Amino acid sequence: MHIDARKIPDNSLIEGDVCIVGAGAAGVSIALDWIESGYKVILLEGGGFEYDQKLQDLYRGKSTGQKYYPLHGTRLHYFGGTTGHWAGMCSPFDEIDFMERDWVPESGWPYSRQELDPYYAKAQEALKLGPYEYDLEYWQNKEEDLTPFPLNENIVYPKMWQFSKARFGTVYKEDIINAKPIHLYTHANVVDIVADENIALIKELKIKNHEGKAHTVRANQFILACGAIQNARMLLASNSQVDSGLGNTHDLVGRYFMEHLEIATGQLWLFNSFSDKLYTRWGEPRAELAITKEAQMEHKILNGTLSLTPLAIAKHIIPRMELLQVDDYKKAGELFFGNMDESEEKAKSDNTLHINKAYEFQIRIEQAPNPLSRVTIGNDRDALGVPRIIFNWDLTELDKDSIRKVNWIVGQEMGKANFGRVKLEKYLQDPDDYTWPSGTNAGWHHMGTTRMHNDPKKGVVDEHCQVHGLDNLYVAGSGCYPTSGTSNPTLTLVALSLKLSEHLKSKLKDKEVLIASS
């Protein structure tokens, strides 16, 4: 069922059993999981079904620290969220990503990769992916000529990817609208979260839109699913009862923001031509060069992978951090993919002799958890009265050391195999240089602002993604990640959301049994 919050009477009261804030990948995945539950689910979306610059402007903020994209363009503010312009790359997090690592500060999830496996399998379905298979051998049995480089697989191995074409705004629009238990309210922007007198339960949400309508939403359980930055913003901005904001007793909300550093790191020159089908095509399956858990532990580095782009193409690609400094983010996808297509066309006309022997390495690597990399709020307010974001992206020496070492390890293995040579970019050649080049890209992957830890002094949410101290408030999405891994976040984001969904169903059923027996 769909209701436009601009068209119902002002000051309406909206009630349900569960309220989900945000209709992106996390929120829609959870809502779909509740269709057969027997509960009334309120799904709030701040935008409509189409891009609207006026709504995007609600996400504007101020950036400090390491250069970043304009904040209002990094998340799409309409039904389906940022899946409306994502590239679709999917791979599960690795076993080491869940481990506590003594060289990675604040690392370690409350559970292992194995506990998330059943939800990864369900997430594959939600994202319209193939089977939950990420071993090279599986794909080699399906397709010919997927040959990996002849490197020591105990040190460097091919990490596999699948590609989702699911744009949640189109794929699931009718499913959500036609589901009677799901009540989708568009143009319903949350502007305040109100707790009870003891700040132990959430009592209601206040929502507004540009047409001047204001409404109240009440439910038994609430889930924030509007992205890592906006989830943190809403908790911090809901400060009428607690000065520091809700869930922020230990000053952790908004801290530990993490991205994936995606940056050109060097060149690979092969001694002989070699089929690059496994590594360079845009589509599934595709592999990137990854460092094994054992090698990461030996060298004490972050988890990162190296992708390959033919050098003849790569030299024409504009770094995204420069290309996407635009105001109208409806054009972001057009600019990005347009530059890729243009680069391929220019490469064809170059008549480059080494197009199948020379490649550019681009790393995708996790960012070390860092409390100084954070989201706060300032005095400026958006059109609906919510304080705007102040965003500080802060990188550490471990980030750069790890980038240098990942490339060094791969270079060493290429040399040992007598297969090729690696030339580092200048900014990586001096081991004492911790500056960052202007083309330091990020993946548009927001993580870590409401990090998960069972100790409330170390995390905003517990292992079930429940906000510490608030019995009926949960956070869905990659903001809960303690560490960011090397994989794009969406597959894990949906898996974690489905895990949260199952826990909440069990919680509600237990309460019903308790009430019935009392």
Task: Give the number of residues written for the chain.
Answer: 518
pTM: 0.95
Give the torsion sign (CA, 34, 36, 38, 44). Answer: positive
Strand spans (E) along 94-188: 156-163, 182-186
In the chain the domains, ranked by start, together with CATH numbers, are 1-129+165-258+370-395+446-518 (3.50.50.60), 134-163+261-365+396-435 (no CATH)
- Cα atoms in the 13 Å half-sphere on the side-chain side of 152: 16
- Cα atoms in the 13 Å half-sphere on the side-chain side of 41: 31
DSSP letter at 366? E
Contact predicate 160/135, CB 8 Å: yes
**What does the alpha-carbon distance between residue 354 and residue 360 come to, in Å, rounded to a whole number?**
12
Give the amino acid at 470: L
Distances (CA, A) of 426 to 169, 381, 396: 43, 42, 19
Contact predicate 157/80, CB 8 Å: no
Give the torsion sign (CA, 405, 409, 414, 416). Answer: positive
Cα dihedral 59, 63, 69, 72, rounded to 10, equals: 10
Number of other residues whose CB lies within 10 A of the CB of residue 7:
10
Task: Please give the structure tokens belonging to residue 121.
Answer: 């399998």
Q: What is the pLDDT along the chain (518 residues), one digit of tens a residue?
A: 999 999 999 999 999 999 999 999 999 999 999 999 999 999 999 999 999 999 999 999 999 999 999 999 889 999 999 998 888 999 999 999 999 999 999 999 999 999 999 999 999 999 999 999 999 999 999 998 899 999 999 999 999 999 999 999 999 999 999 999 999 999 999 999 999 999 999 999 999 999 999 999 999 999 999 999 999 999 999 999 999 999 999 999 999 999 999 999 999 999 998 888 999 877 778 999 999 999 999 999 999 999 999 888 888 888 888 877 877 766 777 777 788 788 877 777 765 544 468 999 999 999 999 999 999 999 999 999 999 999 999 999 999 999 999 999 999 999 999 999 999 999 999 999 999 998 899 999 999 999 999 999 999 999 999 999 999 999 999 999 999 999 999 999 999 999 999 999 999 987 776 565 55
Beta bridge partners of 365: 261, 304
Question: What string of H, E and C letters represents the secondary structure of 399-448?
Answer: HHHHHHHHHHHHHHHHHHCCCEEEEECHHHCCCCCCCCCCCCEECCCCEC
